[in-house]
């Protein structure tokens, strides 16, 4: 994905630094850490500004309070070295794709002006996740409408160039994967920052991965996607549009 940004002649050293280059949008605090935290580390290491927008605050979860989730999210943000993180006030476990909510997300898009937006995959077990995919896409579209009236403080109309879907937990073949091998331990550290969710406790025992199994599961999943592309650890993504190739000789990943 670093090549995606470089292909447009954007220089991270000279680009305006008031917003972010890559913004991950997810329903819950810790969703990003589970699905694309390694990729955010890759982008940050390449010199791009990264950010996270959590749509809810965690008041409806089985474990932890909104205040606990906020403290954990802030700790995880420091581990991931993101430039910006914020949370909206959409109801936890009741994320709805309404005009009001689309405008809330569109305002953030205008203010942060990301070139790349990462959304949850559009199918899944949790309604908040797949609703966030559609909500996020439509908000990205609205943010670019010149006649859409929002608070001027949110900035001028802006529409991200690329929208990607983090497909780690979806049973689909990814469009591409991102090599996160150098950052695998940091990715795990960011996830374990959520002690209310992954620490040993009785509440939600059947719903949450036991703490002693988190490392094994995370490494196994990342290893699976890494093997698809000939690297050690990777995170998968889907894009809806067809990719453009200029030079067949430089295509990566051997066929035989």
The Cα 93–Cα 184 span in angstroms is: 29
Burial of 152 per CB tally in 10 Å (0-12, 13-18, 19+): exposed
pLDDT of res. 211: 74
| Residue 219 domain-assigned (yes or no) | yes
Q: Domain limits at 166?
A: 2-250
Mean predicted confidence (pLDDT) in 89-97:
95
pLDDT of res. 7: 44
pLDDT at 25 over 90: yes
pLDDT of res. 17: 54
Domain total of the chain: 1
| Residue 255 domain-assigned (yes or no) | no
pLDDT at 126 over 70: yes
- Contact residues for 158 (Cβ-Cβ < 8 A; gap 6+): 109, 110, 113, 143, 144
Query: Which tops the pLDDT comparison, 13 or 202?
Result: 202
Q: Measure the CA angle with vertex 236, ends 232 and 49; round to 5°.
A: 95
Query: Is residue 196 very low, low, confident or very high in pLDDT (cuts 50, 70, 90)?
Result: confident
CATH number of the structural domain spanning residue 176: 3.40.50.10320
| Residue 30 domain-assigned (yes or no) | yes
| Residue 109 domain-assigned (yes or no) | yes
Query: Is residue 213 very low, low, confident or very high in pLDDT (cuts 50, 70, 90)?
Result: confident
- Say what the pTM is: 0.90
pLDDT at 2 over 90: no
Output phi, psi for 153, to 5 deg: -65, -15
| Residue 169 domain-assigned (yes or no) | yes
| Residue 181 domain-assigned (yes or no) | yes
Report whether 15 contacts 21 (CB < 8 A).
yes
Residue position matching structure tokens 């073949």 = 173
pLDDT digits (tens, 9 = 90+) for 131-179: 999 999 999 999 999 999 888 888 899 999 999 999 999 999 999 999 9
Query: Which tops the pLDDT comparison, 135 or 59?
Result: 135
Query: Is residue 60 very low, low, confident or very high in pLDDT (cuts 50, 70, 90)?
Result: low
| Residue 256 domain-assigned (yes or no) | no
């Amino acid at each position: 994905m670093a090549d995606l940004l470089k292909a447009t002649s954007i220089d991270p050293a000279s680009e305006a630094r008031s917003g972010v280059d890559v913004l991950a949008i997810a329903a819950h605090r810790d969703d990003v850490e589970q699905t694309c935290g390694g990729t955010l580390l890759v982008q940050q290491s390449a010199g791009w500004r990264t950010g996270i927008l959590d749509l809810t605050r965690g008041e409806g979860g089985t474990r932890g309070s909104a205040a606990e989730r906020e403290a954990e999210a802030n700790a995880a943000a420091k581990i991931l070295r993101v430039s910006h993180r914020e949370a909206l006030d959409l109801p936890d476990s009741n994320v709805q794709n309404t005009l009001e909510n689309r405008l809330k997300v569109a305002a953030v898009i205008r203010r942060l002006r990301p070139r790349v937006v990462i959304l949850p995959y559009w199918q899944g077990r949790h309604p908040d996740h797949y609703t966030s995919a559609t909500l996020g896409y439509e908000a990205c579209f609205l943010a670019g409408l010149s006649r859409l009236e929002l608070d001027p403080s949110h900035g001028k109309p802006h529409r991200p160039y690329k929208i990607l879907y983090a497909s780690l937990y979806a049973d689909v073949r990814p469009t591409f994967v991102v090599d996160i091998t150098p950052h695998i331990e940091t990715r795990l550290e960011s996830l374990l920052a959520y002690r209310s969710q992954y620490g040993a406790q009785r509440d939600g025992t059947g719903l949450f991965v036991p703490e002693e199994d988190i490392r094994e599961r995370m490494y196994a999943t990342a290893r699976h996607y890494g093997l698809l592309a000939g690297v050690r650890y990777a995170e998968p993504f889907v894009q809806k549009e067809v990719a453009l190739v200029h030079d067949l000789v430089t295509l990566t990943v051997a066929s035989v």
